[in-house]
Amino acid sequence: MQLTEINFDGIVGPTHNYAGLSLGNLAATSNAGQTSQPRAAALQGIAKMRANIALGLRQGVFLPHRRPDGAWLETLGTRAEDADAALLANALSASPMWAANAATVSPAPDTADARCHLTVANLVTMPHRSHEWQGTLAQLRLAFHSETHFVVHGPIPAPFGDEGAANHMRLAAGHRSPGIEIFVYGEKGGPFPARQHVEASRAVARRHQLDPGRVLFVAQSEEAIAAGAFHNDVVAVADGRVLFAHEQAFADKDRFYADLRRVMPDVEIVEVPANRVSLADAIRSYLFNAQLVTLPTGESALILPTEARETPAVWTWLNEMVAGNGPIRRIELVDVRESMSNGGGPACLRLRVVADPATIDPRFLVDDAKLDAIAAVIAQHWPDTIAPSDLASPELWKQAAEARAALLETLGLGELI
C-alpha cells in the first residue's frame, strides 16, 4: 500500500451563519448576530485546498449536511416551520464544515488488525453539533468503504463527550511507522465546558486496538479552556516527530513531555513561552489551529490563518522560530476569515487521514479540476449573505437544499448522503 497523508476539508455549507451557539468559543460568541457570507466562506475554503495541493499535499473533501435538519427537529416534536428561533438556529448550523470534529483516526500501522480505524465524534456537549454524527457517519462509510482497509465505528455513547481529532494528536517517524497517539481530554474549564471526556478517549483507543504502550492520555489545562481553547487543537498541534504547543496547553506538561520522550526519544518539542505569546494572543490568532504538515521535500511547514500576521507578538515569535534551527522552517498563510469569525481556523477545517488513496472512494478526493467544478457550484448556488433574520426564511431553506443537491450531483453522490 502507498500510505500517504490526505487532508479532508469540510466544504463550508450554504447556511453558514453567526448564531453564536458555541459556548467557550470566543470568536463564535463575540460575532453572534453579525451577517455572514456563505459564498465567500466556501470559496475561501476552496482556495485553502488549492494552496495545499500546490504544496504537493493530497486533498479530500467532506460535504455539507442537510439543513435545516428536519429529522432532528422531528425527534424534538417540531418542524422548521414551527420551531422557535433558538431551536431553528441549532438545526441550521453549518458546523460540519469543521472536519477536525468529524472523527478520530488511527492509521493502519498503529492498530492490531492493520486497518485504519475511524470513530465518528458524538459532539454531545453542544446541541447544534450533537446531531452531526449521523450525516458524518454516512459520508465516512462511503468514503472509507473498503472493509479490507478501514473500520468505521459509530459514536461513543452519551454522556461521554467526544470531539474527534481536535483533541487527538499523532506522532510518527513516517507513514508506515507505528505512531504515538495522544488523546487530550478536559477536566475543568472555568466558566466553559470541558468538551472531551477521558472515558470517551479511552474507549476510542480500545476500539481502535491501539498498543497501550504507544498511547498517552493527557489532560488539557483548565487555564487554556477558560481562555477559550475549547479544543486542544487551539493550543497544540503535532505532525511527524514535531509537537508544537503553547506553554500553558497541558495540565501537567512536565509529566507529559517526559512520558512522550520515553516512548519517542527523538521527538522535537517546540514550545511557545507564555511570556512571549499569551494564551489570549494564541487563541485570537489561532497560532496553533494551524496545519502542521510534512511537505514532499521532507520539510515541516505551518499553514496559518492570516490573523497570525495581524497579531504582533505572534508574528514576531514565528519569524524568530523560522530564522532559528528548529524543525519548523516554513510558514504559509491562508485566508479563512469567515471560518475564523465563527471560531474555526485552518486545522478545524480538515481531518487528517493516513491511508492509500487508491482505497478511498474517489468522489471524495479532489484535484484542481474538481475544485474548479465545486467552486462553480458555490458561485452559482451559495447565498451571498445571511443575516440573523434570514434564518427563519423558507426561501433560505429552499436555496440551501438546492445548493447542496447541485454539489452532490456534480460529485456523483446524488442522494447517497
Asked if 105 contacts 352 with a C-beta cutoff of 8 angstroms, the reply is yes
User: Using an 8 Å Cβ cutoff, are 68 and 91 in contact?
Assistant: yes
Domain locations in the chain as residue ranges:
4-410
| CATH code, residues 4-410 | 3.75.10.20
Buried b / exposed e across 201-231, counting CB within 10 Å, b at 16+?
bbbbbebbebeeebbbebbbbbbbbbbbbbb
Taking only the tens place, the pLDDT of each residue in 174-233 is 888 999 999 999 999 999 999 999 999 999 999 999 999 999 999 999 999 999 999 999
| Cell (9 digits) for 390 | 434570514
How far apart are alpha carbons 231 and 168 in whole angstroms? 10
- pLDDT tens figures, 309-368: 999 999 999 999 999 989 999 999 999 999 999 989 999 999 999 999 999 999 999 999
Q: Using CA atoms, how far apart are residues 311 and 222, in angstroms rounded to an integer?
A: 24
Catalytically active residues are: 163, 231, 348
Give residues with Cβ within 8 angstroms of 106, minimum separation 6. 116, 117, 118, 170, 181, 208, 210
Greatest Cα pair distance, the chain, in angstroms, is 60
Nearest CA-CA partner of 171 in 285, 256, 97, 250 = 256
**Residue 335 contacts residue 45 (beta carbons within 8 Å):** no
Task: Quote the cell numbers at residue 256.
Answer: 507529559
Mean pLDDT of 268-294: 97
d(CA 350, CA 100): 5
Banded pLDDT at 417 (limits 50, 70, 90): confident
User: In the numeric block, which cell numbers belong to residue 344?
Assistant: 474555526
Query: Radius of gyration over alpha carbons of the chain, in Å?
Result: 20
| 268: nearest Cα among 324, 346, 309, 211 | 324
- Give yes or no for a contact between 238 and 204, defined as CB atoms under 8 angstroms apart: no
Q: What secondary structure does DSSP assign to 187-237, as a single string?
A: S--TTS-----HHHHHHHHHHTTB-GGGEEEEEBPHHHHHTT--SGGGTEE
H or E element: which one contains 185? strand 180-185
What band does 28 get if pLDDT is binned at 50, 70 and 90? confident
Which of 20-34, 57-71, 274-288, 372-386 shows the lowest per-residue confidence on average (mean pLDDT)? Answer: 20-34
Percent of the chain with pLDDT over 90: 95
Which residues neighbour 118 within 8 Å (Cβ) at sequence distance 6 or greater?
103, 104, 105, 106, 140, 144, 150, 151, 152, 153, 353
Of 157, 144, 139, nearest in space to 117 by CA: 144
H or E segment to which residue 139 belongs: helix 133-143
The three cell numbers of residue 104 are 478520530
Strand partners, 331: 302
User: In this structure, what are the phi and psi dihedrals at residue 391, rounded to the nearest 5 degrees?
Assistant: -60, -30
Q: Does the reported pTM lie above 0.95?
A: yes
User: Residue 67: which pLDDT band, with cuts at 50, 70 and 90?
Assistant: very high
Three-state DSSP class for residue 343: coil
Q: Which residue has cell 454539489?
A: 407
Backbone angles phi, psi at 57, to 5 degrees: -95, 150
Alpha carbons 363 and 412: distance in angstroms, whole number:
7
Grid coordinates representing 261 are: 520522550
pLDDT at 27 over 90: no
Whole-number Å distance between alpha carbons of 280 and 258: 27
Question: Taking residues 59-74, what's their average pLDDT?
Answer: 98
**CA–CA gap between residue 219 and residue 52 (Å, rounded):** 31
If we measure between CA atoms, which residue out of 11, 162, 13, 27 comes closest to residue 92?
13
Q: Which residues pair with 8 in a beta bridge?
A: 60, 351
**Nearest 5 degrees, angle CA 344-CA 345-CA 349?**
80
